[in-house]
Structure 1
């Protein structure tokens, strides 16, 4: 068999690394939160509001960020995003010199800026995957970059816990900011559009062209935003996908924000132990994420329609994620670990939303459609931390919190099965 080349895998590896840093930067505050909140005098509800700052900005920038991707190209916009979010992450360490309302305001502002900078990242991932991979490989490629959110915890949670314990919480922000800047340097040397890559062979270029939209937005006639939005906000499959992604992302933001607090305050683990404890569910989420994409692409190769190949793993995975509710009925740390691990394995299997977007996004509005999808999904980044903070302030317990998270997993299944229609490419006509 003649090799077609493997340049696209190098690009995918870079997407994985960038997403790894993206999610590690989101998690810095949650790991530092138990110590940081005590040092700065921040209560639970205020901490929930600070957690939500990222989400407010991230959601707000999705549509303009998608337009930027379409207008200037994903590689360049993504590079600028990495540089900016890394700088704003490092700056959070300076909040150590503030306290009370001043500390809350500064943390909120800096988390807000991180959210603004990270906004184009996932629509950029989807656009780059659509540009670099044929349809039959997109499920696996999307699952691999999406699974980086779990591997971020596997790799960085123990390191961040050690930094916080040994050097103090401000240094975890400085460390992650420096790592991000290093990734930006590598990105600039590795990632570009297929048409501009000097090592791309004709054989690999032909393979990529199988069902892939053109990489260069300039090759397509622009569509007025109003016309595109009317289609993107009314198509049944897209609406169902948006809603499902919101409920799936609720589980993500429980893990990224309140999970370490749950381990420290409800399960009485130390900061270091909480970082280590987080690794096993994250590994399970990573494995589930990769398996979900592989399973989906295997179904496609076996002759299943895109609708079946994407919906079956999504619904099955989120049913497994209901196991998070079991944490309310067990007492040992080992059983909590088992329930959480099963939940995040299932969530990983079911997190195929970006693969579906790569399948259905209009060629003439790939960035915009990805931005809208990510805007709906990451509304959970606003709502989840605040609702959990309020529930904890009123009840003082995580029991209702875990029940709400499980309810969101079930709601995502309903959206995938009953709301989403056929999965097929949407075209925007003149």
Structure 2
């Protein structure tokens, strides 16, 4: 092979970038789950009631949802690298400080933990909009489905990888140690982020061939340049994002998909114990099966979407087809109302979460449709709508279970949102295309 031919071969820096974002996002989700792992021992030592524990667990979701729009606006104003790296460092410090709950004179443990969990939620707000901006800048349209699926699938991988680690830390070193370990790990990740993440046009390892490939395929390689950030947050721009029919359909779809996510994250283990008679150990292993299936489905959905895009040239077909298949599979969760065998319930739940993984292309869609100047803000609005499900779903399911004495109505509630997702994308969204600001 000639020297000229070797020189023209594209580098593959974008794959290294998305691999690192996958690791950072896994740490992100692990930090959210620290109190879930440490909660039992912490409650026993600090004398926390179940109600107090519930408030502490809810603090993150409230702050995270409220801070999405400001977080996205900050990304657009100051750039991904500066805001995202700072966010990792700040949420890691607040994670670390939770290990000192009960030691601060004049503050109760409940107040301390609630405040610190709330601050973790605020600090993590720019993370997923930041991921979407990185994907929009580093990947052509034909690869965004896979790239977005990779970072989004970190939510499943994190449960499988970090839950056993954090459990081991709590068992051998006490509940406070898990906050120290995860906080320190996050600070290391922030330092690594500063060294690794750059705008494509300024990355020291990328060559012209890869840069041209990204840009010619629709990658926003200049997204982080100062002149591309002149049009920052304005109320008129936010109004466009909140009133555009296509985006409203995408927001509604993400909210509905996350109803399924938060059912598994909050009530599913309780369902297995109370409704299906499993013990806690059995429920723990059973809950891991849907998580793994969701991870596999997420990667397959992203890869399949990009394959369809290359075959058809249509973003609408490429993004909506996996979503339809995935949500049809996810509606099978309603069948658990009529199933008696425990093993079959877990199997059907795993299929449902596999379908949810296939359909989880919302972040790819946001990378496809966001106005160039407002990629961060659009992602923030999108993630705000999606995470409102984290506030609503646990509460509604609690009322449904309390009223009926069973989870049947709760499973129907979750399955109905899968159908509503299909309605959102196929009736409201319309053709998928990049929005241009008026």
User: TM-score, normalising length from structure 2?
Assistant: 0.89
Map of 1:348-427 to 2, 5 A cutoff? 348-392=357-401, 397-427=406-436
CA distance in 1, matches of 2:281, 2:179: 16
Match of 1:218 in 2: 226
Match of 2:189 in 1: 183
Structure-2 change in CA distance of 1:349 and 1:403 (3 Å): same
Q: In the alignment, does 2:99 pair up with 1:90?
A: no
Greater relative contact order (Cα < 8 A, sep 6+): 1
Q: CA deviation at 1:95?
A: 3.7
> Secondary structure in 1 aligned to 2:10?
coil
Q: In the alignment, does 2:22 pair up with 1:42?
A: no
Structure-2 change in CA distance of 1:275 and 1:356 (3 Å): same
Tell me which of 55, 61, 64 is aligned to 1:55: 61
Q: CA deviation at 1:80?
A: 1.0
User: Residues 54 and 381 of structure 1 are in contact (CA less than 8 Å); yes or no, is this contact kept in structure 2?
Assistant: no
Map of 1:133-144 to 2, 5 A cutoff? 133-144=139-150
Q: CA deviation at 1:61?
A: 1.1
Q: CA deviation at 1:263?
A: 4.3
Q: CA deviation at 1:42?
A: 2.5
Please identify, of 324-333 and 189-198, the stretch whose mean Cα deviation from structure 2 is larger.
324-333
CA distance in 2, matches of 1:50, 1:253: 17
User: Residues 360 and 425 of structure 1 are in contact (CA less than 8 Å); yes or no, is this contact kept in structure 2?
Assistant: yes
User: Residues 34 and 264 of structure 1 are in contact (CA less than 8 Å); yes or no, is this contact kept in structure 2?
Assistant: no
Match of 1:346 in 2: 355
Tell me which of 67, 71, 77 is aligned to 2:77: 71
Match of 2:137 in 1: 131
Match of 2:267 in 1: 258
Please identify, of 312-321 and 253-262, the stretch whose mean Cα deviation from structure 2 is larger.
253-262
Q: In the alignment, does 2:207 pair up with 1:201?
A: yes
CA distance in 1, matches of 2:110, 2:405: 22
CA distance in 2, matches of 1:351, 1:341: 15
Structure 1 gaps, min length 5: none
CA distance in 1, matches of 2:402, 2:40: 15
Tell me which of 290, 296, 306 is aligned to 1:281: 290
Q: CA deviation at 1:395?
A: 5.3
Tell me which of 20, 27, 30 is aligned to 1:21: 27
User: Residues 158 and 272 of structure 1 are in contact (CA less than 8 Å); yes or no, is this contact kept in structure 2?
Assistant: no
Q: CA deviation at 1:212?
A: 1.8
CA distance in 2, matches of 1:260, 1:163: 22
CA distance in 2, matches of 1:395, 1:92: 37
User: Residues 77 and 233 of structure 2 are in contact (CA less than 8 Å); yes or no, is this contact kept in structure 1?
Assistant: no
CA distance in 2, matches of 1:426, 1:402: 36
User: Residues 55 and 380 of structure 1 are in contact (CA less than 8 Å); yes or no, is this contact kept in structure 2?
Assistant: no
> Secondary structure in 2 aligned to 1:422?
coil
Q: CA deviation at 1:252?
A: 1.8
Structure-2 change in CA distance of 1:104 and 1:391 (3 Å): farther
CA distance in 2, matches of 1:36, 1:262: 24
Q: CA deviation at 1:33?
A: 4.5
User: Residues 85 and 194 of structure 2 are in contact (CA less than 8 Å); yes or no, is this contact kept in structure 1?
Assistant: yes
Q: In the alignment, does 2:251 pair up with 1:242?
A: yes
Structure-2 change in CA distance of 1:75 and 1:260 (3 Å): farther
CA distance in 2, matches of 1:77, 1:253: 27
CA distance in 1, matches of 2:278, 2:28: 26
Residues 150-173 of structure 1, C-alpha deviations (whole Å, 9 max, x = no match): 111121223333444444444333
Map of 1:136-175 to 2, 5 A cutoff? 136-175=142-181
User: Residues 165 and 271 of structure 1 are in contact (CA less than 8 Å); yes or no, is this contact kept in structure 2?
Assistant: no
Q: CA deviation at 1:183?
A: 1.9
Select the structure of larger CA radius of gyration.
2
CA distance in 2, matches of 1:178, 1:9: 26
Please identify, of 21-30 and 289-298, the stretch whose mean Cα deviation from structure 2 is larger.
21-30
